[in-house]
Structure 1
Amino acid sequence: MPVHSSFLGTQYVTVPISTSIVLPNAVLVLQTPHSDKIFPYFELGAGGAFVSISGSDSANPSESGINHFNSDPDASDFVFAWQLKAGIKAEIFKNTYLFLEYRYLFIDPTSYTFGSTDYPGVHLPTTSWNVNLGRQEYNLFITDLQYKF
């Protein structure tokens, strides 16, 4: 992502993100006249997300070969996350079910501290870099086929 600064010029920041999420869910299955074959359901889950960045890079085209995060390009944060799911499970054949589901996932904003720029004799040293990333929101549509033995 390019970051435009009048003092430094354009910085190109790369933050390879990996996220692990734990969300216990409460499930509500609705009773319908067709409840032996069709099962509408809703789920709400809340928990935490561990968001880590490994090998980040902050480069300026006027300073070729310099990663401004070079003394520590890795950082992580633990934040609140929640999801909402709505779907339908339907028996299409004996012991065979089709799932159609919508899932909304929300992860709170995260903050990271990366290492200073440290290139003795090449670049003036800097203090550590603080990076804040906004919330993450995902809209997912899922289909699944289940067979019970």
Structure 2
Amino acid sequence: MQLKEIGKINVEREGMFIQINKEYVKGLQGLEEFSHIDVLWWFDKCDNNESRAVIEVNKPYKKAPEKLGVFSTRSPQRPNPIALSIAEITHIDYDDSRIYITYIDAMNNSSILDIKPYTPSIDRVEKPKVPKWCGHWPLSYEESGDFNWENEFLF
């Protein structure tokens, strides 16, 4: 199996955008009609044997149990350091191969593996069930921006 990077994330001074490799720009056709995208990206800072061996983590959230399996967390340390984020598109510059976004929880220069349009019929769950320890978290992407996430994490 071989993964191909399709671009990089930029979270520097110029604003947040996804720089798409030139050979994939045609793949963006029609994306401007969507408000949000699902971005699959690589946690490259955790691409090492030690991080890939993690399958159980110590309490990452203040109200969580003392131990959690890595698949119950959004931890970057996991067998395959793949991340999934939703990002709001502000505009697409086809000439510069850039998708400008409002925010993404990724590090600068992280590799993009794939982009998919966010579609509520597939990506949205009306009444999701979550554990009690995270039941007070925001119910939407939009509400998350105003939530004090620093009060939730232990790292």
**Structure 2 length as normaliser, TM-score?**
0.23
More strand by share: 1
TM-score normalised by the chain length of structure 1: 0.24
Specify which structure has the higher proportion of helix: 2
Structure 1 or 2, whichever has the larger Rg, is 1
